[in-house]
């Protein structure tokens, strides 16, 4: 059952090469009111990041082709997308090192759905607008 959240007006990009994880995260996030776009590798994820300008990225690290480490490095080099927050969701034992790349959170797979939704809601809050 889809939740009605007026603050869920943005898009979340999920980048993971496991189709079951992609579908599970899509269903979880959509049921919580988010619009979701998904990519099966880092290169496709970067293309969607640039075209969709999502509120947030959920990123796996261990993927074939362009992995999550390279995705994040490329994201940080592009000032148009560098500020989009990233939550790492990975079983990679080196995942905690992603904190050194300025990610919002690192979650170890299998990810607790409630913790993931809480992290997404927190990370995807709109930036405060300066008062005139």
If you write DSSP's letter for every residue of 82-127 in order, what string do you get? Answer: TTS-EEEEE--TTGGGGGGGT-SEEEESSPPHHHHHHHHHHHTSPP
In a domain, 28, yes or no: yes
In a domain, 65, yes or no: yes
Instruction: Produce one character per residue of 98-107: b if its CB has 16 or more CB atoms within 10 Å, e if not.
Output: beeeebbbbb
Within 5-82, where are the H helices? 19-31, 42-52, 68-77
Q: Which residues form the domain of 21? A: 11-123
Which pLDDT value is given to residue 7? 55
Q: What is the pLDDT of residues 47-76, one digit of tens each?
A: 999 999 999 999 999 998 899 999 999 999
Identify the CATH number of the domain in which residue 106 sits.
3.40.50.2300
CA gap 60, 107 in Å, rounded: 10
In a domain, 132, yes or no: no
Q: Is the pLDDT of residue 126 over 80?
A: no
Q: What is the pLDDT of residues 71-105, one digit of tens each?
A: 999 999 999 999 999 999 999 999 999 999 999 99
In a domain, 80, yes or no: yes
Q: Is the pLDDT of residue 32 over 50?
A: yes
In a domain, 3, yes or no: no
The DSSP 8-state label assigned to residue 11 in this structure reads: E
Q: Is the pLDDT of residue 129 over 80?
A: no
The DSSP 8-state label assigned to residue 7 in this structure reads: T
In a domain, 29, yes or no: yes
Per the structure, the count of domains in the chain is 1
Q: pTM of this prediction?
A: 0.89
* CB within 8 Å of 16: residues ≥ 6 apart: 22, 25, 38, 40, 58, 59, 60, 63, 89
In a domain, 5, yes or no: no
Q: Which two tokens stand for residue 96?
A: 């905690």
Q: What is the pLDDT of residues 36-49, one digit of tens each?
A: 999 999 999 999 99
In a domain, 79, yes or no: yes
CA gap 62, 41 in Å, rounded: 9
């Amino acid at each position: 059952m889809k939740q009605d959240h007026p603050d869920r007006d943005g898009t979340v990009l999920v980048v993971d090469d496991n189709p079951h994880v992609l579908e599970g995260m899509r269903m979880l996030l959509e049921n919580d009111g988010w619009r979701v776009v998904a990519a099966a590798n880092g290169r496709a994820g970067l293309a969607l990041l640039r075209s969709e300008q999502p509120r947030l990225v959920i990123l796996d690290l261990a993927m074939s082709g362009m992995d999550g480490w390279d995705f994040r490095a490329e994201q940080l080099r592009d000032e148009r997308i560098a500020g989009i927050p990233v939550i790492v969701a990975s079983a990679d034992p080196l995942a905690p090192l992603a904190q050194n790349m300025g990610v919002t959170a690192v979650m170890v797979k299998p990810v607790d759905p409630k913790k993931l939704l809480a992290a997404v809601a927190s990370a995807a809050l709109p930036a405060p607008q300066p008062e005139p």
